[in-house]
Structure 1
Amino acid sequence: MTDAGQDHVIHGNFPAGGPIEFCSDHHYLLYAREGLLHLDDDGRRWSLPPARAALIAAGRTITFRLPRPVVALSVLFTPDGRPPASALSVFAMPPLARALLEELRQCTGGPADPHETLLFQTLRSTVWRLSHGPAPLHRPTGHSPLVRRALDRTEATLAEDPTFAALARDLSVTGRTLARHILAETGMTWRANLRRMRVMRAVDLLAAGPGSVTEIALTCGYTSLSAFNAAFRDLTGMTPSEYRDSLR
């Protein structure tokens, strides 16, 4: 690790856990080389498999969780010069950005090493450009305890074909009350939230392993491959196969 006044890499293994609240006086590129991160900010949640990263501006407080163990490969950028496009951006990590990170992980030259300095400069320029085209796929987290519990329980049972009536019974509220609160806090119906969660889970699984598209569709609660493909394309602009190909 370099001096506190320099850009530097954070690399290490971290167990599943959280929530963890984090704030830095550096701009922070949050990236999981292996595993999965969930990032919560201002009522929204993103999934960060190895195909995606987040750029968090200095001074921004975020909360993240590790659903499974993570090998982190992140960077702290000094806040000198041009700030990021926004306080928080989540975007796809192309091969170039990943290759720059891997090269920096192996550098040992220190802050005076011209090769390392050039790598940091190139990575900063690349990440700043990527932050102008953020990934839109996230889900609301809700603000009240009721809606947070409802959405978390829905997400935990995606493969079990959850129903709204059973969810309302489990939370001891009427369906009308629960529907009203979910719509007011998330701007979407429960069914639309469920659809978004399923696609987000599929994104995680497509990035994580070699399972077939059909297997992933079933794991995410779809019984029709055509319905899965349509929902995935609607929210990501690509079919599941096209998305997986884009990661290579």
Structure 2
Amino acid sequence: MSRKAYSFVRTFAAEPARDFCADRHYLLCASAGALRLEAQGRSWLLPPARAALIEAGRTIRVSIPRPATTASALFDTGFAPPPPAPLTVFDLSPLARALVAECGAWGEGVEPLTAYAETLFAALAAVTWRLAEQPSPAVVPVGRTPELRRALRLTEERLECELSFEDLAREVGLAPRSLARRFSDETGMTWRAALRRMRLLRAIEELAAGDTPVTKIAFMVGYSSLSAFNAAFHELTGRTPTEYRASFRP
């Protein structure tokens, strides 16, 4: 019989999207690189110093655009209650980071946890379950119909271009009015809002990937004005790009 809870650190190579499902509640903490997680019609970005809480038995899609390192903690369903949502991404507090690090001493095994270790994992669950009630805004819808999913994919592939909505509609075989209605019905966002969100999430990936200057990242994701990029980034995250990057390295 395995432990009620255990932890491990793992480095992943870049890989395309694949389905993932665990039989335990899964706390996935990014420490380097960024992962993309998809469930229930939405896609989250998981950069460093953020965590994802995944309910046991829930299938999600995971893609790793670049190599990434994560620290994970798994909780038996009898040890921790169901998370507040099937999948949530959120910022880690300093206390949560310290608990993740401390729990790293107990990997998968058959020996029961010591009383001290069980207390630590219980505290980690209590803290992160509470943090998961305030999810990250780093999320975009993925669409339900093939036409909208293709429109979103094409938009993401051309973030740095001056993409025309009319040209996009023509490529996916819909009238502009029909595509606009698909965006509203399936995502609750306009195409412009989805484009802006995708640009900012790509910027977060670039911030997590290294030390590329913020100005260069702004131009890479399609902004011609650094001030416009900084304002949009702050509106989404509550921080400047420089502050957000600093939060990756506590």
**TM superposition score category, shorter chain reference:** 0.7 to 0.9
Shift of 1:175: 2.4
Q: Percent identity?
A: 48
Post-superposition shift, 1:181? 1.8
Could you say if the C-alpha distance between residues 246 and 17 of structure 1 is closer, same or farther in structure 2, counting changes exceeding 3 Å?
Answer: closer
Q: Which amino acid aligns with 2:146?
A: P
Q: 1:35–1:50: 8 Å Cα contact kept in structure 2?
A: yes
Q: Cα distance, 1:115 vs. partner?
A: 4.6
Matched residue, 1:87: 86
1:1-248 equivalences under 5 Å are 4-80=2-78, 81-107=80-106, 111-247=112-248, 248=250
Alpha-carbon contact 1:111-1:117 (below 8 Å) kept: no
Relative distance call for 1:79 and 1:107 in structure 2 (3 A) is closer
Shift of 1:5: 4.0
1:59–1:107 Cα change, 3 Å: closer
Q: Which runs of 5+ in 2 are unaligned?
A: none
2:19 and 2:59 in contact (8 A); partners too: yes
Deviation string for 1:36-65 (max 9, x for gaps)?
211111111000011221111222222211
Deviations 1:102-122 (A, max 9, x none): 343345696444553343233
* TM-score, normalization by structure 1: 0.88
Residues 1:39 and 1:186: Cα distance change in structure 2 (over 3 Å): same
Q: 8 Å contact 1:217–1:228 — kept in the other structure?
A: yes
Write the letter of the residue equivalent to 1:17.
E
TM superposition shift of 1:243: 2.4
Does the 8 Å contact 2:27/2:74 carry over to 1? yes
Structure 1 unmatched runs, 5+: none
Larger RCO, structure (CA 8 Å, separation 6 or more): 2
- Cα distance, 1:223 vs. partner? 0.7
The aligned length equals: 246
Assess if the C-alpha contact under 8 Å between 1:49 and 1:208 holds in 2: no
| Residue aligned with 2:144, SS | coil
Q: CA, structure 1 residues 20+246, in 2 after alignment: closer, same or farther (shift >3 Å)? A: same
Alpha-carbon distance in 2 for matches of 1:5, 1:107: 9
Matched letter for residue 62 of structure 1: I
Q: Secondary structure at the match of 1:68?
A: coil
One-letter amino acid of the counterpart of residue 132, structure 1: E
| Greater displacement, 166-175 / 33-42 | 166-175
Within 1, Cα distance between the matches of 2:147 and 2:172? 8
1:86-113 superposed Cα distances (whole Å, 9 cap, x missing partner) = 3322101234333433343345696444
RMSD: 2.3
